[in-house]
Structure 1
Amino acid sequence: MAKPRAAEEISRPSRSLSKAVRRRADAVSAKLAARGLGAFVWQKKLERDLARGILPDIVSLRDERRRCLARRREATGVRASADASRRRSPPPILDASRARAEEEAKEAAFLLEQSRLRAEARFASGRPKPIDVLVKSLDGTRRCALAAFRGASVEELKELGEEIAVYAGLDSANEPFWAAAKTMCDAEIVNATGHGERALHSAVFADVKSVVEGKSLDELDAMQHAIAAQMATGEAKVVEHWQEVTELIRVEKAKKYLEQHYSTTCDENDGGDQPKSTEEYGGGGAEDADEEGSESLRPMALPPPGPEWRKPKYIARVRSSFEWNKYNRAHYDHDHPPPKTVKGYKFVLYYPDLAGGKPPQYTVDEDDGGSSGGETCIIRFHASWPYEDVAFRIVNKEWEYSRKAGFRCTFDRGVLHLNFQFKRLFYRR
């Protein structure tokens, strides 16, 4: 047993040598640290190596310095490689932001396409909303943007303003269009409600408005810049006056922008939604020209409400025939027939671009300029912008309102139908 112990004692370094190695390691580490090359002394590994009879090479200052420099170069290379990899591949957070932006863009495009389809469907059914007029004007199929603000009620205008704000948030590519539409809508609401006090006297306001309306976009820009310069330098004494003039210019610029770029068909007719006509005023569609006992009816001349309004296409027919009652049979024959009697009328009026969604209406009034005795009256058809009123002089008799007698009054898909017959009067001796 003594021999193995002696061999073990020989294989292990002496305690004095171990202490010397530790001191040497600490001294080398301190010198490297003083040079900025701090060397880590792994004490447990050092003890294990000494227990196994292995003398660590940390005792050499030159070798340890070489290893420290090699480790530093390796660490620098690793950091450079990581930086290059990050530059080639953006961090995950940027990828997530880009993906979210793309998803939002796809959603906005989907909502805009759905709005276009809804507008198309409501136009096809003859019940377009004001926002539909703007949507179809923007995509170029019905360029009549100004029609969206004409004839709409205050509630419809307020709803339109909210819808415009939604579209402006979705359709940033057409921001100038929606900004102009919002300006026009707000101005129409103020005009309709009368809210807000004017700094300008009514007569002055009318004069300024007439001057502003006669300017081009470039001239309006020049006026706006001139007023802004005067207000900035203090030359404009009555600030409220010039602020109102500036607002008039801003509204007129929005109107001119929509008029020049998105209202090219306001004074034109959309042939796809109107009757085929060969007569001067659009009467006499194909099926009506050959109707037995039916003749065209010409409208009365009415003063036009403005240059932007237009007369709707229409079919107007008067139905007449011989009345072979007892009196006429006694006094007339087929070779010498009695005068024709008006039996009724048929009207078909076309309003494909009617704004606001309100159906047209008709009224029957006295005929002040017609024949004496009240034998005739005036039937007048009224719709909102851009369509003028249309009026006809008709026989003043009592109408038959039963469907069985042929009465019809409907408005569907932009077409107003009105058919009626007069009540029959029987002769008695």
Structure 2
Amino acid sequence: MEADTKREMSHSSHHRKEERHKKRKSRKHHSSSEPTEESRSNSKNWSNNDEDTEFFDDLREMRAQTKARKKRQKELLKALETPAEKRARRLAKKKAKQLKHSLELGWPGEYMGYSNDNNPYGDPELTHPFVWQKKLEVEGLSSISPAELACRSRKVLEANRMQLDKIKMDRMMRDKLKADAEMIRRDRDGQQNVEWSEQETRFHLEQARERSKIRLKDDRAKPIDYLAAYVYCLMEGEDWVDDDYVFLEPQEYCQNLSLKDCEDLIEDIDVYKRLQNGAYDHFWNNIIVVVNDCRKQQAVKSGLVRDSRQAVSSAVMSDIERIFDGKTFEQLSELETHVVAKIQSAEDGLDVAYWETLLSLLRVRIAVTRLRQIHDSVAESNEERMLVIEQSKDEPPKADVRIKIEPGAGENPGPSCVKGKRITKIRKWSEMDKNATDNEMIRAYRDGRYSPVYVSRDSLPPQARIVVPTKPAKPKESNVSVDEKRSIEAFENFARKGMGDDEATFAVEYPVEQDVLRWSNRFLPRKPRYFNRVHTGFEWNKYNQTHYDLDNPPPKIVQGYKFNVFYPDLLEPKPPQFTILPCKDDSDFCIIKFHAGPPYEDVAFKIVKREWEISQKKGYRCIFQNGIFQLWFQFKKYRYRR
């Protein structure tokens, strides 16, 4: 096909050339006669017009040929296309026609997101202008031209599009504001969650502090409790212990600990470091150094690790100890700097084991020295609650020794002088060995320094005041009342365990005639303490199921009791007993009476008279343990059967 087209084009071009050649010959033949000046100018213009005409003729012929060629190609393609290609071509042509028509009316290809082929109304002419003929007749526009109608439709469509764009913009703005508000809310919630997390962490840390205080008061304190009391009582002035409590040096609480105790102590120290926000890190870090050294020694004793100090002879260890003796904290710190530089230099022939052993011992000595400095600085303001004990190198630490030295008689020196003398005496006592301490104590006993010295009234200064005590500062009765109060609180907490919403306290006693007690002259008779509960609930029998429902339930009835009677001071080891007695006032009730023996009187309660469930599966319980008599029972539930 292309070859035929090329041949036709070459043939037509050859034909045009021949025609042009003939025209030129005819022009030459006409112009062979003698031309005038006017004829020359006319011939020139005529030749130019002739050339333009030839050019446009050639252009028209080329366009016609191109059009004819395309038409033939199109017809050939139509003849060769398949039915599917033909259908697709017609649909594309139809869509292009519809798009052109919509653009002429001022509409886009889709109307509000819908097209003629895709819309929820099934309208194939959705984009065509709708003509409401009746409305036009009412408005007097029945004779309006289609162009004007299309213009009106275009204006309405443009207004709708503008309104739709405005709605979309408003929706986008609302979504943006909503997203911003959500982000602000999340940030606020995140910040609040962080605050809650910090409060929770702070609460747990404060609970660790409270646990230490409780263990100290109950005489079951751990090493961390003594150290915490040392910090809070002596450094912050809080009242954790009694006024007569005497503190040791802080490193003394870290001696003779087991491997597990050392690990627990390090974890507890980390808790207190976080609790105090780095306020006493210098104190706790030195304690950690001492505890790590103790843990290492315990691990060596257990055979878990090998001690690097074994590589150093005992003579060298003695030399190391002599190097440390008598040095201050600043001198030891300077020595540590030199030792670290020596190890990092890595000189030839350097005994690394010796220098590392020296460094480890030096750091422990620095920590102990620093703790003693802290102890001495605190002693100036808390001297009466302090005790400085310096153990010798060869003697095991005596952590349980507590000495309190009073100032001697004599002139009234100033406060600083008295404190200095007391610290000097304490250090003198701490430097003594066991034999010297025993001899000094025997000498003091013989001299009478362990007994108060009598002072006559005449020897007192005129401004002295004599105070005669009328009653002891802490009577024994107060201690007894405190212990009794604690036991009562423990009993009530034990009795309240497992109390549900359907239970209530039951404390209505029934008067009982008391027998004459033979032991009344010896012990004061008293009623026992108790904490009773009554269990109530609904009984869904046939009548209640018929007349009531969950929204309008029946009245509650008593379904059981739980009696907890407190007998902590029984003289006889016999367990208490209970007796069921009839009630004279009401036959629907009965009296339950509890009898335990001296020094407790009998106590009775008025309960509902029904048959009991005495199976443990049904909740029956009757035991006497730890001074508490418990009687729990439920009433039987009767079912109607034909």
Taking structure 1 as the reference length, the TM-score comes to: 0.46
Which of structures 1 and 2 has the larger relative contact order (alpha carbons within 8 angstroms, sep 6+)? 1
Larger proportion of strand: 1
Larger Rg: 1 or 2?
Answer: 2
